[in-house]
A and B are shown apart, each in its own frame.
Chain A
Amino acid sequence: MVSEKKSEKIPVWDLPDIPKGELPPHIQLQRTRVSCTFDAPTHTENVLYSGAYAAMGVDNSLRLPEFRNNFKVEVVSLSEDDMEFDMIGIDASIANAFRRILIAELPTMAIEKVFIANNTSVVQDEVLAHRLGLVPLKVDPRHFNYMSEKDEPNEKNTIVFKLHARCEKGGPRIKVKSNELKWLPNGSEFKLSTEKSNPDSTSKPKTYTSFGCSQDSMPEFANNPIASKHGDIILAKLGPKQEIELEAHAVKGMGKTHAKWSPVATAWYRMLPEIVLLEEIVDEKAEELVKKCPVNVFDIEDIGKGRKRATVANPRSCTLCRECIRGDDWEKLVAVRRVKDHFIFTIESTGALPPEVLFTEAVKILEDKCERVISELS
């Protein structure tokens, strides 16, 4: 807003008559930056219309070669579960699409059905089932198919776990943790209740699943057994003589149906902070400014003769607490902005897939969607 005000002061007759093919600086600022003033963020919108600046002779259309040139992805940090990367030169709507897809549309496996044979613990069946559902599983969902209403549970759409915990009489209370979920590669062991026990039949008794083959014989799981991602999630606590015996069936699903299928704890982005010192800030003022910022965005540099000048050292760490523009006309000295096309994207994976894979999957889904739109339109 500061720059805006300044530009307003330019008399109308001083403005260039002919469009120069480039935007005046204040409009350019509005187009590319969100200015975070003390009261409210302004110019948050993205200008998408290609002819938005036609009056000034500027073409606002998005062109593929330009996009190719400008678009950059830089990975800042990557660990097993977390990833932070910069996505530069893209519109907020596209970045948001990735975020939305990551949260809601990437499939994972999660426990959906729980067959409780015995539960004498204090945790109610539904609550226990709910807790089990939220346990993240370490399994690549791409190896599985969705299970629809009419599908039989088979080795391609269902993972079966068994949990049998018991607290002995006289023993201390125990915690049932998620590492006690044991993978049953051969499917359910519970016999179907409708099945009549037929002692002389040679065929295997029918269970709740009909696996064609054992899952551990599949190459992808042969030496990568399926288990919960974290072994230390407390599912229930058992007192003496209490017991839990159950079977949990995990299926493939999407985050929009239930948050348990979301592959990310959360995924989000923030726009790159840009902090501009509008005037030179020296001496006490500089020190004050440095002290004001709780995340050390500013630094002091010596400009000789014992004088100090404030500089912006670390704008990326700005959390937008707006301390630097609080009170006493500080807003005239410091401008806090966000770069509209630079996204610091963070993905926190729950563990089913590594974050970088998640992102590429998200890109694929968006691609699919675009193709679908194109094919529907044509």
Chain B
Amino acid sequence: MVVREDDADLFNGLHETGLNIDKQALAAPVKKAVDKFKLVPEFLKVRGLVKQHLDSFNFFVRTGIKKIVQANNLITHSRDQNIYLRYKDVRIGQPSMMGDSVSDLLNPQKCRLSDITYAAPIYVNIEYSNGGNEGIQRKRDVIIGRLPIMLKSCCCVLYGRDEEELARYGECPLDPGGYFVVKGTEKVILMQEQLSKNRIIIDTDQKGCVQASVTSSSEARKSKTVIRIEKEKIYLHLNGFASKVPIMIVLKAMGMESDQEVVQMIGRDPRYSELLLPSIEDSVKEGVHTQSQALEFLERKVQKSQFYTPVVKEGRALKILQETFLANVPVHENNLRPKCIYVAVMLRRMIEAILNKDTLDDKDYVGNKRVELSGQLLALLFEDLFKTMNEMAHQKIEVLLSKTARTSRFDISQHIKNDCITNGLERALSTGNWDIKRFRMNRKGMSQVLGRLSYIGTVGHMTRIAPQFEKSRKVSGPRALQPSQWGMLCPCDTPEGEACGLVKNLALMAHVTTDEDERPLIALCYALGVEDLELLSAEELHMPDSYLVIFNGLILGKHRMPQTFANLMRKLRRAGKIGEFVSIFVNEKQRCVYLASDGSRVCRPLVIADKGVSRIKEHHMKELRDGVRNFQSFLKEGLIEYLDVNEENNALIALYEEDAREETTHIEIEPFTILGVIAGLIPYPHHNQSPRNTYQCAMGKQAMGNIAFNQLSRFDSLIYLLVYPQRPLLTTRTIELVSYDKLGAGQNASVAVMSYSGYDIEDAIVMNKSSLDRGFGRCIVMKKLVAINQKYANGTSDRIIRPQRDGHDAEQTQILDDDGLASPGEIIRPRDIYINKQSPIDTKSGGNAGNTVKLKDSQYKSSKQTYKGTEGDTTVVDRVALCTDKNSNLCIKYMIRSTRRPEVGDKFSSRHGQKGVCGTIVQQEDFPFSERGVCPDLIMNPHGFPSRMTVGKMIELLGSKAGVSCGRFHYGSAFGEPSGHADKVETISETLVKHGFSYNGKDFLYSGITGEPLQAYIFMGPIYYQKLKHMVLDKMHARGNGPRVMMTRQPTEGRSKNGGLRVGEMERDCLIAYGASMLIHERLMLSSDPFEVQVCRKCGLMGYYSEKLKAGICSMCKNGENISTMKMPYACKLLFQELQSMNIVPRLKLTDA
């Protein structure tokens, strides 16, 4: 059907262009490559960079929340059914804040600035009856809580706004959204990687036993079922049963009394029955033959509940089998046969796995994984909180109605309170702890503070996927690069160290699906010839001519023509009759057709090809360029489709159209989309050694630049900005797509690759002082200072007073304005006062919070706050903002800024994982210069190249050099040479030659010191350099004398506390080995915590020095006769005293040295 439509289109197109077309040429398969690149920006236009988050949240808000409320829509009194409350409908309002009876509309920037939560009320319509004769009452728009709103989701005020409107809201137009603002901080709920739910996974346990496990998750229940072969016998492990139970007995309990039927169901292959025999014998040994015997047997195994004794003693085993066991298989009218078949299929696959080891499932295979998104996680949380709220309401009603004498009229609608949901959601989001007892879920670190170090770091944070395992596990499997990651997860972008390979990032075009309604799809399957499971006998289940049809892990039945069925379904999908994200996958090995419409699958778009000929023709792309077409129309007309990882196995995907063969079913849109957003910034990544790209992915997030268009009106606790950021001369398509060229984080430095001065060893770079003078690498560091004008419980409050201009602290108060606050533009030095605040001495007694108390001046003590900064940095007060925090205290926020020029030790990096510190700064006249008078901005040592093998960096240099000489930005997209998204080295060289440079990028340089030419041609040209956030000024530290820890009297630890530098164990060992005993003595005692003690020679205990008698006294012997004075570390004395307090007496025995 689709094809025909397509033909018609083509035909019409021909009519328009004229009729004199060679018919044969038309009939021949067109092999010309069509530049499909334009599809990528089009795709990103409809999708945005964080569509997965937005889609998931939108789904929750539009459907998920309704389902949850629907499923728990009734609160009734336990005795009187007439007293009830029923939720009719639920909807999310506009983001707003509840003031005193008025609600203010919120926008995200307002929330960020004033530390409030960007949340919208959840409205419900209720219907209730108070049991009296008032009848049924209805209320509309009752608020049951406030839901934090994801930015740019359908509930957000920013939804669908254009650039100008966004700017009016104070929002950056390039901000991707997809995060929450909770108490003023931006929080992202990371995507969570999980093993797929409701699917049979065959693998081995630690002992090597084959097991089949299903993690069931239905709307009502969640459970995990494991069937394992131990010592040739097959057992079921289930939470409801105290110990393992033989699977044959379970089958018997579910009504499969005939062993023959079981064997038939699993398969009549004699090898299968052989493996089943021990289990069958086992059940006979146990004397279990009938269903009732089996149930009796199971009843004994049922786990005794710790909390309550169930009312019904009987039938608990059956209930477990119905509800907990394989909870994803629905049970209608106590019909357990579908579960029996499910077990049979599990057993069959296990036995297959025993006979043939490669049929084991790979847990690391991306197709077996699901990516759980914020919508689902919020839904879980909401469900729990909603149920809790209803339970609370229920209890309240019970208690109230049990009282005989009631003061006020009973109104059930008054008892749904909204703080439970509001606080629960807010707490979870701000702490990141998803602690849901109801679903036995206890996960930490689900939400993180959105990294705002650089724009690209922000976007990268939104595509990050949190791992399913803990990072400490020392396994290589899950960390390894999976071939099935292709196009779904970025192969480069993963952190180094413990989380390496576990934390992943989505690729550029990857999409995460949301749930889709199952019922019409199931009906459709039956309509397309799936034979219903109910009608099949055990023997028919695994007939050689039929395939099982499994829909979202549920066995629907079997089909005799699986390929035709799959093709039909796919055709329907391409025609848009069923959802575009439904996946159809024929598994030849398992003889199954898997259909999936569930959420959290990763998928990506591909161009459909018929017999190796792309369905996208040049005229389609022309229409796209002309704007008559968009990505959606490509999807709708069946030119493009989404494939998930499983369905990719049924496809033969050609990388380029030229490579397509007869069997090819799909063609990649663009090869560079296998990389993610951050790896997409690297020019020519395919020429680099792969770890270099990974290093750059980690460093790109630390690069300074512009973080957002609204960066100067933000109050983040720390902002790093570059004064003159540039867009890279050598760009990639990804850079343009993610607008890195608008919010760049680096500068194009003219680099000479040569050895110079010796201060460039170990990756250090030599910088040109004049370049630094002119603004290269200059950055702004902004920090936030906060002061709160506290109100106290006794009605008193802090006050901010006008500074005394003349007095002992006049020096420190000079930056203060007359209002007692530091004024913007003032230079703030260490120990300067930035708020001249006073607190009442008595904040506890008298008065109450309601009425303010006037205090006399003497009743205040000074609590001014002083700036503690480092010397050597000029800091300026940038902005001052006043706002009310949630306790309605006045909150004063300062942004202080310091502009820094690069200095020796600051860290820089190119985009190829080549980081280095500034080794020295050299005058321009000492720098080498070229024939054209060009003097490099920095010099990099050539030893950085051979071992790193970052050829991409060299090509970047060439490309940028050609770019500046011809005035065109050059491209270096990954794998872009064949499709023209990366300039070839040959063409770059030609451009260079045309502009009078050597083809190899090497210039003839003169030494700036001697004036003579250098004895080598120097590889010189612009490279995009990033300044990383690590700067010496923030790290350098030394101490002579300084603060000490109170308890041990040893120097404090850490730079922030002006601490000492520790001589650790290893350093001590060195000194011991060397024999520098006096040095050890000095370092470990004299410079640390020397202490003089009085030791009694007689009892060996420590005494004290009496100032009155001017002599040491032993408090044990009560005299001062045998006292010696000695020095020991204070920590040692402390240890002795602590031991004494534990009834251990350490005695010192002194001898003459």
**0/1 string, A66-104, CB within 8 A of B gives 1:** 000000000000000000000000001101110110011
Q: Which of chain A's residues has its CB closest to B712's CB? A: A122
Report A34 CB to chain B, min CB distance, Å: 5
Contact A319 B1017 (CB under 8 A): no
**0/1 string, B752-785, CB within 8 A of A gives 1:** 0000000000000000011001110010100000
Contact B1008 A100 (CB under 8 A): yes
> Complex formed: what's the CA distance from A40 to B1002 in Å?
10
Contact B1014 A41 (CB under 8 A): yes
Contact B775 A130 (CB under 8 A): yes
> Complex formed: what's the CA distance from A322 to B1017 in Å?
11
Is there a chain B Cβ closer than 8 Å to A126's Cβ?
A: yes
Contacting A at CB under 8 A, from B886-920, are 897, 899
Contact A266 B1012 (CB under 8 A): no
**0/1 string, B990-1034, CB within 8 A of A gives 1:** 001111111100011010111111111100000000000000000
Pick the interface stretch among B300-308, B382-390, B546-554, B931-939. B931-939
Is there a chain B Cβ closer than 8 Å to A323's Cβ?
A: yes
Contact B999 A346 (CB under 8 A): no
Is there a chain A Cβ closer than 8 Å to B204's Cβ?
A: no
Report B994 CB to chain A, min CB distance, Å: 5
Report A91 CB to chain B, min CB distance, Å: 8
Contact A126 B876 (CB under 8 A): yes
The interface centre, meaning the residue of B876, B993, B995 with most chain A CB atoms within 10 A of its CB, is B993
Report A256 CB to chain B, min CB distance, Å: 6
Residues of chain B lying within 8 A (CB to CB) of residue A256:
923, 925
Contact B1011 A262 (CB under 8 A): no
Contact A294 B994 (CB under 8 A): yes
> Complex formed: what's the CA distance from A266 to B750 in Å?
15
Residues of chain A lying within 8 A (CB to CB) of residue B773:
258-260
Is there a chain B Cβ closer than 8 Å to A45's Cβ?
A: yes
Is there a chain A Cβ closer than 8 Å to B485's Cβ?
A: no
Contact A259 B774 (CB under 8 A): yes
**0/1 string, B645-659, CB within 8 A of A gives 1:** 000000000000000
> Complex formed: what's the CA distance from A346 to B1004 in Å?
17
Contacting A at CB under 8 A, from B233-264, are none
Contact B1013 A338 (CB under 8 A): yes
> Complex formed: what's the CA distance from A62 to B775 in Å?
44
Is there a chain B Cβ closer than 8 Å to A125's Cβ?
A: yes
Q: Which of chain A's residues has its CB closest to B994's CB? A: A294
Is there a chain B Cβ closer than 8 Å to A370's Cβ?
A: no
Contact B1011 A93 (CB under 8 A): yes
> Complex formed: what's the CA distance from A262 to B554 in Å?
79
Complex partner residue of B897 from A97, A124, A321, CB under 8 angstroms = A124
Contact A320 B1004 (CB under 8 A): yes
Residues of chain A lying within 8 A (CB to CB) of residue B825:
116, 119, 125
Contact A134 B1014 (CB under 8 A): no
Is there a chain B Cβ closer than 8 Å to A276's Cβ?
A: no
Contact B1014 A103 (CB under 8 A): no
Complex partner residue of B1011 from A99, A124, A130, A295, CB under 8 angstroms = A99
Complex partner residue of A319 from B897, B935, B996, B999, CB under 8 angstroms = B996
> Complex formed: what's the CA distance from A126 to B825 in Å?
10
Q: Which of chain A's residues has its CB closest to B996's CB? A: A319
> Complex formed: what's the CA distance from A124 to B995 in Å?
39
Contact A259 B770 (CB under 8 A): yes
Complex partner residue of B999 from A44, A320, A326, CB under 8 angstroms = A326
Contact B925 A103 (CB under 8 A): yes
Q: Which of chain B's residues has its CB closest to A126's CB? A: B899
Contact B1014 A44 (CB under 8 A): yes
Q: Which of chain B's residues has its CB closest to A258's CB? A: B773
Contact A321 B993 (CB under 8 A): yes
Is there a chain A Cβ closer than 8 Å to B878's Cβ?
A: yes
Complex partner residue of A266 from B780, B923, B935, B993, CB under 8 angstroms = B935
The interface size of chain A toward B, counting residues with CB under 8 Å, comes to 49
Complex partner residue of A268 from B770, B878, B933, CB under 8 angstroms = B933
> Complex formed: what's the CA distance from A276 to B899 in Å?
54
Residues of chain A lying within 8 A (CB to CB) of residue B769:
259
Contact A36 B1008 (CB under 8 A): no
Contact B778 A130 (CB under 8 A): yes
Residues of chain A lying within 8 A (CB to CB) of residue B1006:
92, 96, 268-270
Complex partner residue of B995 from A92, A116, A294, A320, CB under 8 angstroms = A294
> Complex formed: what's the CA distance from A320 to B994 in Å?
12
Residues of chain B lying within 8 A (CB to CB) of residue A27:
none
Report B986 CB to chain A, min CB distance, Å: 14
Complex partner residue of B1015 from A44, A294, A321, A338, CB under 8 angstroms = A44
Contact A268 B929 (CB under 8 A): yes
Contacting B at CB under 8 A, from A289-335, are 294-295, 319-323, 326
Is there a chain B Cβ closer than 8 Å to A46's Cβ?
A: yes
Residues of chain A lying within 8 A (CB to CB) of residue B780:
124, 127
Is there a chain B Cβ closer than 8 Å to A271's Cβ?
A: yes
> Complex formed: what's the CA distance from A271 to B929 in Å?
12
Is there a chain B Cβ closer than 8 Å to A360's Cβ?
A: no
Complex partner residue of A41 from B770, B923, B925, B1013, CB under 8 angstroms = B1013
Contacting B at CB under 8 A, from A219-276, are 255-256, 258-260, 262, 266-271
> Complex formed: what's the CA distance from A180 to B308 in Å?
85
Contact B1013 A321 (CB under 8 A): no
Residues of chain B lying within 8 A (CB to CB) of residue A323:
993, 998-999
> Complex formed: what's the CA distance from A346 to B932 in Å?
9
Is there a chain B Cβ closer than 8 Å to A60's Cβ?
A: no
Is there a chain B Cβ closer than 8 Å to A42's Cβ?
A: yes
Residues of chain B lying within 8 A (CB to CB) of residue A260:
773
Contact A93 B876 (CB under 8 A): no
> Complex formed: what's the CA distance from A34 to B874 in Å?
50
Known: A116-B825, A125-B825. A259 touches B924 (CB 8 A): yes
Report B923 CB to chain A, min CB distance, Å: 6
Residues of chain B lying within 8 A (CB to CB) of residue A100:
925, 1008
Contacting B at CB under 8 A, from A130-169, are 130, 134
**0/1 string, A8-39, CB within 8 A of B gives 1:** 00000000000000000000000000101000
Residues of chain A lying within 8 A (CB to CB) of residue B929:
266, 268
Contact B925 A92 (CB under 8 A): no
> Complex formed: what's the CA distance from A102 to B721 in Å?
34
Known: A130-B778, A260-B773, A294-B994. A104 touches B1017 (CB 8 A): no
Residues of chain B lying within 8 A (CB to CB) of residue A34:
1013
Report A300 CB to chain B, min CB distance, Å: 20
Known: A40-B1015, A119-B825, A320-B931. A125 touches B876 (CB 8 A): yes
Contact A104 B925 (CB under 8 A): yes
> Complex formed: what's the CA distance from A134 to B773 in Å?
9
Contact B997 A262 (CB under 8 A): no
> Complex formed: what's the CA distance from A97 to B997 in Å?
27
> Complex formed: what's the CA distance from A34 to B773 in Å?
34
Report B126 CB to chain A, min CB distance, Å: 50
Q: Which of chain A's residues has its CB closest to B1017's CB? A: A40
> Complex formed: what's the CA distance from A316 to B187 in Å?
64
Residues of chain A lying within 8 A (CB to CB) of residue B778:
127, 130
Residues of chain A lying within 8 A (CB to CB) of residue B994:
294
Is there a chain A Cβ closer than 8 Å to B723's Cβ?
A: yes
Contact A321 B923 (CB under 8 A): no
Residues of chain A lying within 8 A (CB to CB) of residue B1012:
44-46, 92-93
Complex partner residue of B997 from A40, A42, A125, A321, CB under 8 angstroms = A321
Report A261 CB to chain B, min CB distance, Å: 9
Contact B923 A319 (CB under 8 A): no
Contact B996 A294 (CB under 8 A): yes
Residues of chain A lying within 8 A (CB to CB) of residue B1003:
320
> Complex formed: what's the CA distance from A288 to B125 in Å?
87
Known: A268-B1006, A321-B998. 19 other contacts (CB 8 A): A41-B1013, A44-B1012, A92-B1006, A96-B1008, A97-B1011, A100-B1008, A103-B925, A119-B825, A124-B899, A130-B775, A255-B770, A256-B923, A259-B769, A266-B929, A268-B933, A321-B997, A321-B999, A323-B993, A348-B933
- Could you show 14 A-B contacts with beta carbons less than 8 Å apart? A44-B1013, A96-B1006, A96-B1009, A96-B1011, A126-B874, A127-B778, A130-B775, A130-B778, A259-B769, A268-B935, A270-B931, A294-B996, A320-B1003, A348-B933
